[in-house]
Every structure is written in C-alpha cells, then in structure tokens.
Chain A
Amino acid sequence: NAGVTQTPKFRVLKTGQSMTLLCAQDMNHEYMYWYRQDPGMGLRLIHYSVGEGTTAKGEVPDGYNVSRLKKQNFLLGLESAAPSQTSVYFCASRFNTGGNTEAFFGQGTRLTVV
C-alpha cells in the first residue's frame, strides 16, 4: 500500500515548455486534489476531482489543466510553463464519506521554470 505517489519528484523546465505531473493513489479514494505551495502562502488549490471523469477549478487554476480518466490517477498539465509556476506541487486524496476526512498527500514535486 503505497498511499499517494507523485511523479516526478523534481523537474526543471524552460519557459514555454509543457509537462504533465502524475498522481497515483491506491486507497480507492473518490476525491483527489492538486495544490501548489509557495513560501508564505500555504497550500493553494489548483484543481480537484470528485470522481472518475470529473474535474473542477480551485483557487488558482489558470495555466493548468487536469484529467481523471481513471479513479486512481489524477494528472496535472502545464501547457506552456511560466516562471510564475515555479513552486512545489502536492497531490492529495481522501475518502468521500459524506463528512470530512483526512487528506493524504503525495511527497511533492519541485518544479522550477527558467
């Protein structure tokens, strides 16, 4: 039981390049999330998904796209990377139990856009 796994752990991109971050969870969670973490700003929600085939925008969605083709995977795409997207990205997942429950986080992806 690996929990939540993110790929890759580190990446350096040039401005304008594209990339996809992969999040995989083996806990059969319905809800999955992508956050970015910047100094002094906490964890800001980019996009989220409440089930396979569904996605929704969070607080800071511009410049990102997501897909949830399989329940266990949630992909975050950057079509044309910008230096402002330099950040640490965290994926998280949790159960849908009707109430609110603990979120389990991946280990993070440190992305630098130069």
Chain B
Amino acid sequence: GENVEQHPSTLSVQEGDSAVIKCTYSDSASNYFPWYKQELGKRPQLIIDIRSNVGEKKDQRIAVTLNKTAKHFSLHITETQPEDSAVYFCAASRGGGFKTIFGAGTRLFVKA
C-alpha cells in the first residue's frame, strides 16, 4: 500500500545551523507534498508544500526539494532558531485523491 518514510526521527542542531529532513514515498502517482509543523501540544499546521511539476520551492528560511525519479523530497531549514523546535511531518497525496499519507514525523531540537 501507500507509504511515506521519514528520516531522521530526531534531529538536534545548534542555533544558526541548517536542518534537513528527508522523506520517500511509494505511490508513483503522488503529486502533492505538504510539510506540517506541530509545536508541543498544538495542532499540525502547513508550512510549505510542493507540487510535482516543480523541483524546488522556497519561502524565506524554508525550502523543499522534490526528486520525482527517486521518489523523495526534503525539507531544508536554514539559520535555525529556537522557535523552529517542533515535530515536522511530511506527507504525500495523489491528484484527485482523497487521502494524504503522513510520515512518522521528525522531532527537531534547536539548541540556543
């Protein structure tokens, strides 16, 4: 069945360093790849998304890259800040599809 694998499960970085989270997906028909951030005790919220017709998208310190051939996509956070500490989820869904499949999440710690 459809599956999204996410690595690493935990990531600890020093403030100001970059953080990279990687995901692979199994459904070759997937064409929408959102990333959600969940702060402690809060709801997941979309931070960036990418569609299969582009290879990279940036929004200030956050960027996402997509390699359709290899079926993997990554989240890059530059100049990390303590407020970036949270759990990040990648996800994948197919066009016209109803279901979004989530990765298991990455807990990011940014040390001041």
Contact residues of A with B, CB < 8 Å? 31, 33, 35, 40-45, 48, 50, 56, 58, 90, 98-100, 102-103, 105-108
Instruction: Give the contact stretch, choosing among B13-21, B37-45, B62-70, B77-85.
Output: B37-45
Contacting pair A41 B104 (CB below 8 A): yes
Do A105 and B45 touch across chains, with their CB atoms under 8 A apart? yes
Give the distance in Å from the alpha carbon of A90 to the alpha carbon of B100 in the complex: 14
Q: Which residues of B contact A (CB under 8 A)?
A: 6, 9, 31-32, 34, 42-46, 49, 51, 89, 93-105
With beta carbons under 8 angstroms apart, the residue of B31, B44, B49, B98 that contacts A43 is: B44
What residues of B have a CB within 8 angstroms of the CB of A40 in the complex? Answer: 9, 104-105
- CA distance in complex: A28, B89 (Å): 25
Given contacts A31-B98, A108-B43, contact A42 B89 (CB under 8 A): yes
- Complex: how many Å from CA A45 to CA B4? 13
Q: Shortest distance in angstroms between A28's beta carbon and chain B's nearest beta carbon?
A: 17
A43 contacts B102, C-beta separation under 8 Å? yes
